[in-house]
Amino acid sequence: MAELVREDAVADLTAAAVLNCGQMVLVPDGRVGIVQNMRPVAIGEIATVRFRGIIKAPAGANGTAGATVAAHIVNQNIVATGAAGSTDIGRLLYTVLSGAEAQVDMNP
């Protein structure tokens, strides 16, 4: 018989650097997630990372609703898919201008 061991929308991540609530990170399987811990996570501690849902993050580029977009982990913003240093995160829900808040359906 199968056993549900974890909700499909969260993962535990051992911090390799200090992580803060709301920070975009990569989980081990390559998806982008958002740190959920309410206090900073020290190196070696476990961070809870949510990798499904709708997020709001700064747009680092203009984007069109429905387009696949990426997260730039270093800059902590949303950019066009294929941009240098970025990882696909999901679909943009609304057209957005660079510098505004982008809303993205993460890993649909």
DSSP codes of every residue in 32-65: EEEE--SSPBPTTSEEEEE-SEEEEEEBSS-B-T
| Amino acid 102: pLDDT | 97
Which range has the worst mean pLDDT, 5-19, 36-50, 61-75? 5-19
Which range has the worst mean pLDDT, 3-17, 24-38, 63-77? 3-17
DSSP, collapsed to helix, strand or coil, labels residue 10 as: strand
Q: What is the DSSP letter of 16?
A: S
Q: How confident is residue 10, by pLDDT bands cut at 50, 70 and 90?
A: confident
- Say if residue 7's pLDDT is above 70: no
